[in-house]
Amino acid sequence: MSANKIWFITGTSRGFGREWAIAALDRGDKVAATARDPKSLAGLAAEYGDALLPLPLDVTDRAAVFDALARAHERFGWLDVVVNNAGYGQFGMIEELSEEEARAQIDTNLFGALWVTQAALPYLREQGGGHIIQVSSIGGVSAFPNIGWYNASKWALEGFSQALSQEVADFGIRVTLVEPAAYTTDWAGSSAAHATPLPAYEGTRAKAAEQRARRVGDPGDPEATREAILKVVDAEEPPLRIFFGDGPLAVAVADYERRLATWRAWEPVSVAAHRKDS
């Protein structure tokens, strides 16, 4: 497929959103780029001029999301690729999370993606096609201690996106869940939120940190994902799911092998629960 696409990308101040905006702009595509602080987009605007439409946006504000999509469509007249990248990591054991922290994570990582998806779909249906990219995580396939609520937000994203892909296929709209490994972004740094720790979980927290260090190993380079995302959006038949990075496949395979073994071992109990013999 040819280039010259129109993109709408959330969370372009840094990380994958910024890298993918640059990848698109460098090859001549046009991008509506959103960020909470539009000043963070000044450098891109200066370099790429009218090819970039910088937009301030808090994805938790549904009305603002619909307005941003309308402004992007009004400016460019079309939408080829819609990227839900805005999000952050919430650290903390499940018991440690406050109500405010729990709701904020879902508001951004899940509802933010939902609002953008809902706002984009009328345009994509009308034009007879388009591609929605949902930025998930290996944490949307498996789950790990001390980021359980982040996992919950991404598992929910995975579920609604898989259903969505079936609902919109007849309109020519494709959906892809990008599931990255650990990268040298700011995901676990200043952009992350941390619950107040409980002393009871000190041992568990230490084990979780050790496991994460082994799992992460050598984090990926975000810039290396530029070519990968272009291959995904240019594909005639893009995947519903794709891992980015070296390592997630092994984690997923081991996790699913354990699940299958457990389901099979308990299958007699499962079948017996189907119907009581008279």
Domain ranges of the chain: 6-249
Residue 270 catalytic?
Answer: no
- 75-125, pLDDT tens digit by residue? 999 999 999 999 999 999 999 999 999 999 999 999 999 999 999 999 999
Predicted confidence at residue 55, as pLDDT, reads: 97
Q: What is the mean pLDDT of residues 2-13?
A: 89
Residue 48 catalytic?
Answer: no
Predicted confidence band of residue 218 (pLDDT cuts 50, 70, 90): confident
Helices marked H in the chain — which ranges? 15-26, 42-48, 62-76, 99-106, 112-127, 148-167, 202-216, 225-234, 248-265, 267-272
- 202-213, pLDDT tens digit by residue? 999 999 999 888
Predicted confidence band of residue 217 (pLDDT cuts 50, 70, 90): confident
* Helix pair 225-234, 15-26: axis angle to 10 deg: 70
Residues 6+ apart with CB under 8 A from 202: none
Predicted confidence at residue 141, as pLDDT, reads: 97
By mean pLDDT, which of 42-51, 85-94, 178-187 is the weakest? 178-187
Q: How far apart are CA 113 and CA 56, in angstroms?
A: 16
Residue 183 catalytic?
Answer: no
Q: What is the mean pLDDT of residues 194-202?
A: 97
Answer whether residue 131 shows pLDDT above 50: yes
Predicted confidence band of residue 1 (pLDDT cuts 50, 70, 90): very low
Predicted confidence band of residue 184 (pLDDT cuts 50, 70, 90): confident
- 141-173, pLDDT tens digit by residue? 999 999 999 999 999 999 999 999 999 999 999
Percentage of residues in the chain having pLDDT higher than 90: 89
Predicted confidence at residue 190, as pLDDT, reads: 79
Answer whether residue 189 shows pLDDT above 90: no
Among 88, 150, 183, 201, which one carries the catalytic annotation?
Answer: 150
First to last CA, the chain: 61
Predicted confidence band of residue 3 (pLDDT cuts 50, 70, 90): low
Q: How far apart are CA 154 and CA 112, in angstroms?
A: 12
Strand order through the sheet with 6-9? 52-56, 30-35, 6-9, 81-84, 130-135, 173-180, 241-244
Among 5, 13, 30, 136, which one carries the catalytic annotation?
Answer: 136
Predicted confidence at residue 213, as pLDDT, reads: 85
Closest CA to 233 of 13, 23, 12, 33: 23
Answer whether residue 188 shows pLDDT above 80: no
Q: Which two tokens stand for residue 27?
A: 């090859």
**Dihedral of the CA atoms 243, 248, 251, 253 (nearest 10)?**
40
Residues 6+ apart with CB under 8 A from 239: 176, 232
CB 93, CB 195: distance < 8 Å: yes
Architecture of the domain made up of 6-249:
3-Layer(aba) Sandwich (3.40)
Sign of the alpha-carbon torsion through 214, 218, 223, 226: negative
Q: How far apart are CA 264 and CA 272, in angstroms?
A: 13
Residues 6+ apart with CB under 8 A from 26: none
Predicted confidence at residue 278, as pLDDT, reads: 62
